[in-house]
Structure 1
């Protein structure tokens, strides 16, 4: 399901976008000189991202210096305390642009909130862990699965996996709502849940403690390894009002992803130095595992279509995949 798109109707090409990103680097981390200003400056010098509790979102943090190179003098990270608010901060306008999980954004698009997807950024951060009684996704039938909330991203992702192998997620699985990803992991480690969906640094912590085993690794196992798990999305009003700023901000995210792919050791040190993850080994393991350079060739539209179709089939979203793509995406800054 890999597709390349070189040129859009307005004449902006992915090739040109790639060429422009090649000129950038995280200044304080890689000591890359400031690029020449070859494009109009951003219409605003302020941009707000989010500080999320997930080190797989490393490009969002490394983007800080790159955003300054792109002309943003005010780069703010809004704290997001709960999973329920991950994407709501975009819809409400509390943040302008951020990385977010595909399954966090799909319900927002389905509700026709003021959010638009701009690009895919990486895949593979989620791993479905099970106990000794679970060795395949089908074996979750009539078992207990811990999720942060019904309708939350982890619930929807697991539901998609179940539906894909013929298990009815609405009737054949016992969902244990825990309110947070941390509590889902606690339920799994304490034995009150048979499975849960982990994301960095949770998989690294479980492997270090030799707890459970991986049922599905979305970085390796098909079809999940074919599709983005995380995308870059933005507030629709911000995109409409500040198109140049949007393009420059998106480029900073993508270049930051390239840094994670090319020099994970330096990126891990950056995360530790900034206090996003105190354990260098955990950060490095997560960064080395994830294919951060796949944004260059994978097609985000294929991702949205695949997952939206699964959720639509089991009644978890009302909109058709094509409606979500038509109304909730804007590829002109990348394609």
Structure 2
């Protein structure tokens, strides 16, 4: 009975959150042809990825958009989920902007479609590190030397004048970053919910950079939405429907965090209501309308090109791997 009530409450909340959009776009929605396909594969990460809430909550909304087969797929957790979409294991993906840039530079046929939110990352350090410049000569934990953590911390370090290759000692930690940090294996690491929240609750370490609040990182999208080029090319109408559902999900994350947090737990996406609620309260899901996706990609592509991480120019990245027509239309249609 509780599950049924939660689902009814979710549907009511979703309807309320999207009411303005439905009213404002009723004529347009009627004029739109139905999606060319009623199937879509979206990413999931069991036990983690609290910041993917907008995508997780979009499932019910996608059914309202005419989708029958909505699957949440988890790939090989030993690799970054950019590999999942590259291997055609799913149709849409959510990832950090630099990882999308690296994929485009490597020739992976994806199209970045829009931003999901700004800020979910914290650079956590021990007492020997007061700021990013203090990382010189220090140990930083990463999964691998091509992992998102390595890429992002390298860009942060280079931005303040450090040489990421020679000034930092990179320590490979293949398991729980938080526990590796607690055990003293490294002096700093880049974390995300729920690991950062777990450490804060235990009063271990301190934050030297928060991508939600510290510029220039807070001034750009943290995670953006991409799809396979094949799906976008074959199913442009379906692509717009999916993106609309995700953005309505993001709106609901911003307007009713307790509802979304409970749904994420009830539907098995994450285990902790408390950490889900804290994540939703901390992250800016309302930024998809305000921030410029092209500016965010250009910012990171320039940093990566300057540090030699990619060969492509920022303009080539934008030309080869983006498609802004859907988000531009939806910003006009889903006005608050």
Return the TM-score normalized by structure 1: 0.88
- Structure with bigger helix share is 2
CA apart distance, 1:201: 1.0
Report how many aligned residue pairs link the two structures: 309
Q: Secondary structure at the match of 1:62?
A: helix
Q: Map 1:94-105; keep pairs closer than 5 Å.
A: 94-105=89-100
CA apart distance, 1:27: 5.8
Aligned partner of 1:221 in structure 2 is: 214
Partner Cα distance (2:12, 2:218) in 1: 30
Partner Cα distance (1:231, 1:292) in 2: 11
CA displacement, residues 100-146 of structure 1 (integer Å, 9 cap, x when unaligned) = 22132121111011111000110110000000101100000111100
CA displacement, residues 29-66 of structure 1 (integer Å, 9 cap, x when unaligned) = 62628966512111001000111231011111101001
Q: Secondary structure at the match of 2:171?
A: strand
Give the conservation status (yes or no) of the 8 Å contact 2:118–2:218.
Answer: yes
Give the conservation status (yes or no) of the 8 Å contact 1:55–1:277.
Answer: yes
Give the conservation status (yes or no) of the 8 Å contact 1:51–1:78.
Answer: yes
Give the conservation status (yes or no) of the 8 Å contact 2:58–2:249.
Answer: yes
Range with greater deviation from structure 2 (183-192 or 45-54): 183-192
Q: Secondary structure at the match of 2:294?
A: helix
**Aligned partner (choices 69, 72, 87) of residue 74 of structure 1:** 69
Aligned partner of 1:177 in structure 2 is: 172
Partner Cα distance (1:48, 1:89) in 2: 11
Aligned partner of 1:167 in structure 2 is: 162
Q: Map 1:1-335; keep pairs closer than 5 Å.
A: 28=11, 30=13, 32=15, 38=30, 39-52=32-45, 53-82=48-77, 84-179=79-174, 182-335=175-328
CA apart distance, 1:80: 2.8
Partner Cα distance (2:50, 2:139) in 1: 27
Give the conservation status (yes or no) of the 8 Å contact 1:60–1:98.
Answer: no
CA displacement, residues 231-288 of structure 1 (integer Å, 9 cap, x when unaligned) = 0000000000000000000111111001001110111111111122222111111100
Q: Secondary structure at the match of 1:334?
A: helix
Give the conservation status (yes or no) of the 8 Å contact 1:162–1:168.
Answer: yes
Distance of aligned partners of 1:307 and 1:116 in 2 relative to their CA distance in 1, 3 Å threshold: same
Give the conservation status (yes or no) of the 8 Å contact 1:143–1:174.
Answer: yes
Give the conservation status (yes or no) of the 8 Å contact 1:148–1:177.
Answer: yes
Aligned partner of 2:334 in structure 1 is: none
Q: Secondary structure at the match of 1:277?
A: coil
Aligned partner of 1:14 in structure 2 is: none
Range with greater deviation from structure 2 (88-97 or 236-245): 88-97
Partner Cα distance (1:83, 1:325) in 2: 29
Partner Cα distance (2:135, 2:14) in 1: 49
Unaligned ranges ≥5, structure 1: 1-24
Query: How large is the Cα RMSD of the aligned pairs?
Result: 1.8
Range with greater deviation from structure 2 (252-261 or 92-101): 92-101
CA apart distance, 1:183: 2.6
Give the conservation status (yes or no) of the 8 Å contact 1:83–1:152.
Answer: no
CA displacement, residues 139-193 of structure 1 (integer Å, 9 cap, x when unaligned) = 00111100111111111110110000000011111111223xx532222121111
Return the TM-score normalized by structure 2: 0.88
Give the conservation status (yes or no) of the 8 Å contact 1:114–1:235.
Answer: yes
Range with greater deviation from structure 2 (74-83 or 161-170): 74-83
Partner Cα distance (1:270, 1:103) in 2: 30
Q: Secondary structure at the match of 1:84?
A: coil
Partner Cα distance (2:9, 2:315) in 1: 37
Give the conservation status (yes or no) of the 8 Å contact 2:155–2:304.
Answer: yes
Partner Cα distance (1:132, 1:78) in 2: 40
